A and B are shown apart, each in its own frame.
Chain A
Amino acid sequence: MGLTKEVRAQVGRVTRFRGPSPGTFHRQGEPLISLESEKWVGHFSNPLDGTVTEVNEAWYRDPSALGACPLEDAWFYRLLPKAPLIGTASRPRAEGGSPEV
């Protein structure tokens, strides 16, 4: 999960970040990510029910360095959806889980 290029351009220089903890389950629509820039806090909601498998710790170390980075570097977290995504290519997993987004 991360921000599109267009939204990143609006956000500006990020000074603070908060994200979810790995291993936690979250519902669609829950605000999971917050970024602060120039006394403005943007809250971003979780797009799918699922379990957070990994959080990009680089956001905590130096959020100002990541604001302008491409999604490959500036992703927020990886989510294992609760149910398979309809219409999305999926690959089987050994534990029989859902595809990773």
Chain B
Amino acid sequence: MKGAPSSAGLALPGARPPGRLLDLGSCEPFRAQAFAESVAVAVARREAPETLILCRPDRPYVSIGFHQVSSEEIEDGELRRRGLPLIRRVTGGGTTFLDPSQVFYQLIYRAEPGSGLSGGPGDFATALAAPLALLERLGLSAQLRPPSDLVVAGRKLSGNAGGTWEGAHLLVGGLLGTADVEAMAAILRCPSRDFRDFVQKAMGEALTGLDHELSHPPSPRELSEKLRSSFEDFGPWRLTPGDPERTEEERFLTEVLPRHRDPSWVHLPALPRAPSAVQRAVRVAGGRFCLVVEGPGRTEYFVLANGNEIESAYRIGPAGPEAPLLASHGTWEDLRQKVRSWGGA
């Protein structure tokens, strides 16, 4: 086994336990997103070994995090106009737009001793050593930005999420061939055209794709093969290629797929909300959010916040966003003082 990439700083397991590689290739969105849930049952019951799935979607679709409410997050009309399926995944995180330029990796495991995986957010560092090493092999200076993003020059190129399902652990993610920020912003529920433009601009600054970073980016098929090689070298298991078991295929068709197509699964009811000045929050990447905040006199403000830091803020006038409220990055208190100084605006 080769050494870990120098900049990764990630621990590699020593003697690795065996694992199965399922290369599903290019497949329809529900299979690309959710076949792992059928495998999870088999892995939890010890009917299948711990498994790495590699695949890529054959057409675009949208996925929301398990706890997200589609009616609050998604612009239904735009989804229909573009013919995009909506899939609510069992793992965490925010809304994602997926397309055939992306390559997915999905680890399904019981957290056996020796793999370096224990079943929890701490697994991101171990599991992401392989995609991180691949980005470095492609000549990119990539880093893990905790908890689970891989970034190149501060811009996210890979999003990852995890969870437990049916007694197994799942860790899933993908590499962005193209960061289609127009489509990403278009499918999000936004209260105005101006806010959608604000979100799209923020996404353009926070996300990147291999086509932007490399003069000769690999095709999705080539990328998948390189990813496979990287998981063989840096992944948590000694991989043996295999095929899905008949029971995994049957379970996917009879249980997983019907559940994902059931509107009561996709569309969770909204929860009651405490009154808040924040009218809408859109996660851009990492801890960075675009917010619509209602100030005194029902004046609206667009805020780009990264954790507790305000990166930019605008008052929204009749003609749209006005001049920036803050000359440089500031705090919420800086913004409050600025709003007060506008004479109660």
Binding site for B on A (CB under 8 A): 10-12, 16-18, 31, 34, 36-43, 60-61
B65 contact set on A, CB distance < 8 A: 36, 39, 41
A12 contact set on B, CB distance < 8 A: 120-121
- Contact: A42 with B163, CB < 8 Å? yes
| Chain B residue nearest to A36 in the complex (CB) | B92
Q: How far is the CB of A66 from chain B (nearest CB, A)?
A: 15
- Contact: A39 with B93, CB < 8 Å? yes
* Main secondary structure on B side of the interface with A: loop
* Main secondary structure on A side of the interface with B: strand
A43 contact set on B, CB distance < 8 A: 90, 163-165
**16 pairs across A/B with beta carbons < 8 Å?**
A10-B120, A16-B67, A17-B67, A36-B67, A38-B92, A38-B121, A38-B146, A39-B148, A39-B162, A40-B162, A41-B92, A41-B163, A43-B90, A43-B163, A60-B271, A61-B274
- Contact: A36 with B121, CB < 8 Å? no
> Of B66, B160, B268, which contacts A36 at CB under 8 A?
B66
Tell me the complex Cα distance, A97–B66, Å: 35
| Chain A residue nearest to B123 in the complex (CB) | A40
Q: How far is the CB of B44 from chain A (nearest CB, A)?
A: 11
Cβ of B161 under 8 Å from chain A: yes
B90 contact set on A, CB distance < 8 A: 41, 43
| Chain B residue nearest to A12 in the complex (CB) | B121
**Given A10-B120, A12-B121, do A39 and B92 touch, yes or no (CB 8 Å)?**
yes
B268 contact set on A, CB distance < 8 A: 18
Tell me the complex Cα distance, A101–B212, Å: 57
CB-contacts of B100-124 with A (<8 A)? 119-121
- Contact: A39 with B66, CB < 8 Å? no
**Given A12-B121, A34-B66, A34-B67, do A40 and B92 touch, yes or no (CB 8 Å)?**
yes
Q: How far is the CB of A30 from chain B (nearest CB, A)?
A: 11
- Contact: A41 with B148, CB < 8 Å? no
Report B251-283 CB contacts with A as 1/0, cut-off 8 Å: 000000000000000001001101000000000
Cβ of B307 under 8 Å from chain A: no
| Chain B residue nearest to A11 in the complex (CB) | B120
